[in-house]
Amino acid sequence: MNDEYRIEVDTGSGGYGFTDTLAELLADVKFVYGKKEVEKVSIWTKSSKEGDEYVSEDKRMHIWNIGKS
């Protein structure tokens, strides 16, 4: 699976976004949200297709599957 993902996080006082490989995405999610959210995102990535979006429960993190690199 060579999909890339766009992650955007609203920190409350701004925000940031990155385009990541799967490994980088999971590391970013773990840093910001912890292991429990990594498990949810990991499950989502296995079934997501290009254009699909994941939104965290607090609505501050959005992830899009942007397809193959």
Digit-coded pLDDT (tens) for 8-49: 999 888 889 999 999 999 999 999 899 999 999 999 999 999
Beta bridge partners of 15: 10
**0.75 cut: is pTM over it?**
yes
Res. 56: pLDDT tops 80: yes
Beta bridge partners of 63: 7, 54
Residue 1 pLDDT grade (very low, low, confident, very high; cuts 50, 70, 90): low
